[in-house]
Amino acid sequence: MKRIAAVLAALVALLALCPVAMAEDVISIEDVYDYADDWSDNDVYYLEDDEYVVVDLTRDPEHSVYLVFRLEGTNDHILAARLLTDVDYHYSSEEERSQAIALANQWNYEHRYPKAYIDPNDGQYMADGHLFCIDPTEGMVREFVEDQIYGTEQMLQFFADSGVSAFAPYAED
């Protein structure tokens, strides 16, 4: 137990030093936009004022599904990707909710990213992924963006193919 505490203390100390050691503009949100726009067949938007890149994954005109990239951290050294949707999924029973959680757990067991979860407040399927970059290469950032777009599309298809009616438009053709 003492060994674990010592390792955690060393990790916390190391992470505390990272913002000081990092260069300015480690990741460029404009580059993220370029990578997403080059790779994806979906509409990609750069919201300059808020510094977000949005990939529109919507397939159903009644519901919006977006993958949003944003820089986070003290020196913008974390590239976050989050799935945002207005799909309001209400469970008809506790059994249905348990099945939804089991599907998210199955996805997470079989895939490293994006991580799927069920929002405990409103039951929405959510997903996210993060790239912590101290000294990233262009290839690392590009690969992360591509993996998040592809992985999110695969995750939506997985839920649709598993019978989640809210994601039926993402079922494999």
pLDDT of residue 26: 64
- Here the CATH number for the domain that contains residue 106 is 3.30.1460.10
Its pTM surpasses 0.85: no
Is 13 a member of any domain? no
pLDDT of residue 134: 66
Number of H helices, E strands in the chain: 4, 6
Is 46 a member of any domain? yes
Is 32 a member of any domain? yes
Is 7 a member of any domain? no
Is 58 a member of any domain? yes
pLDDT in tens, 47-73: 888 789 999 998 888 778 899 999 888
> In the numeric block, which tokens belong to residue 42?
């979906």
| Residue 126 belongs to domain spanning | 23-170
Query: How does DSSP classify residue 80?
Result: E
Cβ-based neighbour number of residue 130 at 10 Å: 17
Is 11 a member of any domain? no
**Considering just the CA atoms, what is the radius of gyration of the chain in Å?**
18
